């Protein structure tokens, strides 16, 4: 459209034309800005590994998908890729937006999967381990994959959850941009909240593609870290038993 009118006048006129009371220059705020303002007002943190699902309004995730796709399109253009002619990257922006919001970072934007816990009626108190559980995450620094395995050791407390539920909660926690040390702590917090075990141990072994694919390009290096809480922390023999069980589970894998 060509116009010689000042832009404030023309947007007010356009608003009046639609019968709306539009303030001059009032453009709708990007949905991400509306959400961030809401989080700021509420004093809610929204770091890369925080979940913000309960602060998203109806339809906002869909609006975010559109906004993110637009930004990825701009990113591709800034990388001087001819997305208008290149059939391979034509819809990359939409794919990447969907992938971030609903797959690889779904643990930020989607609610925790429903996980029912049950009273520990039999008063089970023997430790058990679950694993390996796949770790699929991304590093906060480069947004490239962190892939590996995780083992969880439990000394049951008042409540118990089904074995498969550990995979579900781990997948939800890991599906965010992370650093491995914090991911393990966040997962431990969630499991404690779900089943209040007397003891909890988590071990994560993962390869960081920011080291394999770029940077120092060390293809074999992995990072191993663990957290031990409750009885696993206070009782060294219990902690040793956990690491022994993990070793056995690992040797099953290589057979």
Residues in contact with Zn ion by the rule CB under 5 A: 139, 141-142, 210
Residue with tokens 């089970």: 124
User: Which residue lies nearer to Zn ion by CB, 139 or 200?
Assistant: 139
Cβ partners under 8 Å of residue 64, min gap 6: 31, 32, 35, 56, 101, 109
User: Which residue lies nearer to Zn ion by CB, 64 or 139?
Assistant: 139
Considering the complex, what minimum distance in angstroms separates the CB of residue 215 from Zn ion? 8
Minimal CB distance to Zn ion: which residue?
210
Considering the complex, what minimum distance in angstroms separates the CB of residue 141 from Zn ion? 4
User: Which residue lies nearer to Zn ion by CB, 139 or 187?
Assistant: 139
Take residue 195 and report the two structure tokens written for it. Answer: 């089943």
Considering the complex, what minimum distance in angstroms separates the CB of residue 136 from Zn ion? 15
User: Which residue lies nearer to Zn ion by CB, 63 or 140?
Assistant: 140
Considering the complex, what minimum distance in angstroms separates the CB of residue 32 from Zn ion? 23
Q: How far apart are CA 19 and CA 130, in angstroms?
A: 62
Considering the complex, what minimum distance in angstroms separates the CB of residue 183 from Zn ion? 13
User: Which residue lies nearer to Zn ion by CB, 167 or 175?
Assistant: 175
User: Which residue lies nearer to Zn ion by CB, 141 or 247?
Assistant: 141
Considering the complex, what minimum distance in angstroms separates the CB of residue 182 from Zn ion? 13
User: What DSSP string runs through the chain?
Assistant: ----S-HHHHHHHHHHHTT--PPTT-PPPPHHHHHHHHHHHHT----TT---GGGPPTTHHHHHHHHHHHHHHHHHHHTT--TTT-TTTTTHHHHHHHIIIIIITHHHHSPPPP---EE-TT-----EEEEEEEEEEEETTT--EEEEEEEEEEE--SEE--HHHHHHHHHHHHSSEE-HHHHHHHHHHHHHHHH--SEEEEEEEEEEHHHHTSTT--TT--EEEEEEEEHHHH-HHHHHHHHHHHHHHHHHHH-
Considering the complex, what minimum distance in angstroms separates the CB of residue 8 from Zn ion? 45
User: Which residue lies nearer to Zn ion by CB, 81 or 144?
Assistant: 144
């Amino acid at each position: 459209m060509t116009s010689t009118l000042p832009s404030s006048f023309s947007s007010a006129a356009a608003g009046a034309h639609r019968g709306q009371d539009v303030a001059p220059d009032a453009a709708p705020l990007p949905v991400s800005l509306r959400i961030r303002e809401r989080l700021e007002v509420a004093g809610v943190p929204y770091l890369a590994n925080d979940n913000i699902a309960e602060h998203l309004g109806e339809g906002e995730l869909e609006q975010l998908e559109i906004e993110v796709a637009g930004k990825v399109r701009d990113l591709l253009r800034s990388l001087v890729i001819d997305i208008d002619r290149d059939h391979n990257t034509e819809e990359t922006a939409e794919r990447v937006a969907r992938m971030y919001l609903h797959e690889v970072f779904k643990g930020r934007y989607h609610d925790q999967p429903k996980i029912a816990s049950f009273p520990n009626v039999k008063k089970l108190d023997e430790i058990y381990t679950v694993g390996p559980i796949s770790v699929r995450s991304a590093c906060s620094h480069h947004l490239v994959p962190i892939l590996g395995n995780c083992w969880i050791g439990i000394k049951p407390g008042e409540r118990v959850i089904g074995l498969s539920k550990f995979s579900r909660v781990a997948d939800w926690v890991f599906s965010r941009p992370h650093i491995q040390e914090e991911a393990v702590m966040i997962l431990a917090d969630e499991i404690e909240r779900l089943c209040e075990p007397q003891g909890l141990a988590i071990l994560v072994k993962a390869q960081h593609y920011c080291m394999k694919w770029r940077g120092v390009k060390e293809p074999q290096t992995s990072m191993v870290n663990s957290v031990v809480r409750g009885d696993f922390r206070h009782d060294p023999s219990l902690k040793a038993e956990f690491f022994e069980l993990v070793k056995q589970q690992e040797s099953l894998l290589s057979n």
